[in-house]
């Protein structure tokens, strides 16, 4: 059995997390219905440097759930290289430049589709780890602020 690589310092984990946010296309998005039923859906996203933008049909459970409960969680990466984001959502639309960037990155453009809104996601907590030796210091962002 091989030993895991030494734990990455927080600065390196933040750099790796920002790279993943910038370059990954899709995230697993977890929401809950008003009665608490969980819903998990893969959605494409755009990272703006402070927010993520998602787009999904207004009739889909993800959009419906976020209308009633703006709290969500997103996960990027793999089992052994995960970024876990706790966030809040609101219906603020992207700028035209951000919407075009979303369409380019995602490979589809929701703008011409009826009832296909963008959802702005504000991370409040971000954690990142690869192996169990990084769990102790996995917290990178708390209360929307990056930790030093």
pLDDT at 8 > cutoff 90: yes
Phi, psi of 56 (to 5 degrees): -155, 160
Instruction: Give the whole-number percent of the chain exceeding pLDDT 70.
Output: 99
pLDDT at 87 > cutoff 70: yes
- Summarize the confidence of residues 26-47 as an average pLDDT: 97
Burial of 36 (0-12, 13-18, 19+ CB in 10 A): exposed
pTM: 0.95
**What tokens were used for 2?**
């091989």
Domain count, the chain: 1
**What tokens were used for 33?**
């219905």
Q: 60: helix, coil or strand?
A: coil
What is the per-residue pLDDT for 1? 66
**CATH code (residue 49):** 2.30.110.10
Query: Is residue 24 one of the residues assigned to a domain?
Result: yes
Domain hosting residue 19, numbered range: 10-146
């Amino acid at each position: 059995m091989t030993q895991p690589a030494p734990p990455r310092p927080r600065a390196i984990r933040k750099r790796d997390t920002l790279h993943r946010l910038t370059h990954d296309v899709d995230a697993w998005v977890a929401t809950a219905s008003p009665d608490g039923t969980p819903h998990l859906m893969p959605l494409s996203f755009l990272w703006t440097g402070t927010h993520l933008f998602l787009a999904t049909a207004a009739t889909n459970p993800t959009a419906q759930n976020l209308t009633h409960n703006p709290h969500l969680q997103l996960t990027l990466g793999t089992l052994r290289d995960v970024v876990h984001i706790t966030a809040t959502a609101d219906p603020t639309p992207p700028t035209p430049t951000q919407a075009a960037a979303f369409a380019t990155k995602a490979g589809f453009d929701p703008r011409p589709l009826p009832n296909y809104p963008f959802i702005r996601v504000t991370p409040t907590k971000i954690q990142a780890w690869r192996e169990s030796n990084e769990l102790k210091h996995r917290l990178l962002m708390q209360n929307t602020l990056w930790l030093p």
